[in-house]
Amino acid sequence: MTPSAARVIAPLPEVVYLGLGTNLGDRVGHLQQALFALATHPEIKVTAVSRVYETEYVGPGSQDPYLNACVQLRTRLRPRILLAILKGTEQRQGRKAGGHMQPRPIDLDILMFGQHVMDGPGLTLPHRQMRDRAFVLEPLTELAPHEKFPDSGETIASACAKIRRKSGPWIKVRMDVELGNSLPDNNKEGWRAALAVHSR
């Protein structure tokens, strides 16, 4: 068989975990729009969504509280391609370039990407600061408590338990917000209509 005739084998889908955050404008609407963009992308399959948490801002200065959630998805995209898609989604939702540690309508972070371990310009896997952040570990533990960090072998649940034993910024579940119920499931037009009503 010649090389040109060889069948190209597509990579297997990787399990990826994302963190979503927002503290500017219509926070619930921003989370819904970001989830919609992910769930309707042809190369992304959203497989699970955590509850939404309201959290105290962590960082220098003072900001309004954030809404945070985590998403599990499967994709054949490479890490940096997915990162570019997420950055494009942030920009379309109004996030300004260079706004690190500033209030933002949406923040989309790759937390873990399969078993990838990397530390390069603009992308570190697993996410460098996730093990120190309750607003990441609490929703992530809902989705994958027994998943292990590929660089250390520690489980997400174990890392979350360590955070719970420490004093830190407040965090609470928003029982009035259900992102998971909003996923398009062969009803994309109905989901668009619901989102349009919410955003009026």
Decide if 53 is inside a domain: yes
pLDDT digits (tens, 9 = 90+) for 102-134: 788 999 999 999 999 999 888 999 998 999 999
Out of 24-33, 84-93, 99-108, 124-133, least confident range: 99-108
Domain count, the chain: 1
Decide if 47 is inside a domain: yes
Q: Phi-psi region for residue 45, left (φ > 0), alpha (ψ -120 to 50) or beta?
A: beta
pLDDT digits (tens, 9 = 90+) for 33-42: 999 999 999 9
Integer Cα distance of 84 and 105 in angstroms: 18
Decide if 181 is inside a domain: no
With contact defined as beta carbons under 8 Å apart, do 107 and 55 qualify?
A: no
Decide if 200 is inside a domain: no
Which residue out of 51, 76, 109, 132 is catalytically annotated?
A: 109
State yes or no: is 165 an active-site residue.
no
Integer Cα distance of 142 and 51 in angstroms: 8
Q: Please give the C-alpha separations between residue 180 and each of 47, 59, 172, in angstroms, as whole numbers.
A: 10, 28, 18
Decide if 163 is inside a domain: yes
Give the CATH number for residue 92: 3.30.70.560
Decide if 81 is inside a domain: yes
Residue 95 pLDDT greater than 90, yes or no: no
State yes or no: is 107 an active-site residue.
yes
Decide if 105 is inside a domain: yes
Which residue out of 27, 107, 131, 133 is catalytically annotated?
A: 107
Q: What is the pLDDT of residue 1?
A: 47
Phi, psi (5° rounding) for residue 6?
Answer: -65, 140
Which residue out of 27, 104, 131, 133 is catalytically annotated?
A: 104
State yes or no: is 104 an active-site residue.
yes
Domain of residue 24, residue span: 12-174
State yes or no: is 27 an active-site residue.
no
Decide if 187 is inside a domain: no
